[in-house]
Amino acid sequence: MNVSLRGFGREDLPAYAEALRSVYAEAFCAPPWNEAAEKAGEFARRLRDDVRRPGFTGVLAFTGEAGEAGEAGETRETGQTGETELVGFATAWTTGAPFPTDRCHPQAAAGLGPGRAHEWLVGSREVDELAVRPAAHGTGLAGDLLKAVTEDAPDGRAWLLTSVRSARAMAFYRRQGWAQATHPSPGGAGIAVFLGPAHPARALVPLPL
């Protein structure tokens, strides 16, 4: 699969909103995530605010050659034209202070403890979403997207949350050199914090029991 990556920001969102929603639905509204279909729409609406977050970084992955801003109008409207299709994306931003209390952040703080959550994660590059269409699984695209949104993280400080429900996701981040910093029950419930390969605290993470 011939894939090209390009960054995106607030000005690109109207052109790619529907394609991003479609990729999200294919990635997360199926096993093992099994999110309800309306979650894809919620993601698309949430992204309108997320692109305004401090330090926002977004990367799109296209088959073929993606059009530049202002070019290839049909590509920018639908995410697909001819053989060019949006097949994946990643988003990240800078974790603010105080440490967030929305979404799954309280579980991260509970697992690390408030002190470590602040010291290790505030000011770091937080990967929020990473999604690829099933047709692109096994191509290395997910790893490329992960690297693209974290390779310039300040002092290598990058982190993310994922659910232990997905053994595939957990194994993927380990293969990419990320260190699991919290170890919730293996029974399938709970959120795990991962630190990036260059995060200065990765050597301090606790080992699983």
Return phi, psi of residue 115, to 5°.
Answer: -65, -50
Give the pairing of strands 179-180 and 84-94: unpaired
Per-residue pLDDT at 66 exceeds 70: no
Query: What is the distance between the alpha carbons of residues 93 and 53, in angstroms, rounded to a whole number?
Result: 7
pLDDT tens track for 11-38: 999 999 999 999 999 999 988 889 999 9
How much is the average pLDDT of 75-91?
Answer: 67
Report the pLDDT value the prediction gives residue 49, as an integer from 0 to 100: 95
Q: How confident is the model at residue 74 (pLDDT cuts 50, 70, 90)?
A: very low
What is the model's pLDDT at position 21? 96
DSSP 32-49: TT---THHHHHHHHHHHH
Beta carbons within 8 Å of 138's beta carbon, 6+ residues apart: none
Q: Is the pLDDT of residue 56 over 70?
A: yes
**Nearest-angstrom CA–CA distance, 190 and 123:** 24
The length of the chain, given as a count of residues: 209
Q: With a cut of 50, say whether residue 184 has pLDDT above it.
A: yes
Q: Which of 147, 100, 101, 109 is nearest to 127 (CA)?
A: 147
What is d(CA 120, CA 195) in angstroms, rounded to the nearest whole number?
9
pLDDT tier, 179 (very low <50, low <70, confident <90, very high otherwise): very high
Average pLDDT, the chain: 88
Highest mean pLDDT (candidates 64-68, 80-84, 155-159, 189-193): 155-159
- Report the share of the chain in percent with pLDDT over 90: 78
Alpha carbons 148 and 35: distance in angstroms, whole number = 26
With 90 as the cut, is the pLDDT of residue 156 above it? yes
For residue 68, what pLDDT is reported?
44
Q: How far apart are CA 197 and CA 104, in angstroms?
A: 22
pLDDT score recorded for residue 208: 66
pLDDT class of 84 with cuts at 50, 70, 90:
confident
pLDDT of residue 73: 32
**Worst-scoring range by mean pLDDT, 15-24, 86-95, 97-106, 188-197?**
188-197
Section 115-129 average pLDDT:
97
Tokens of 147: 């690297």
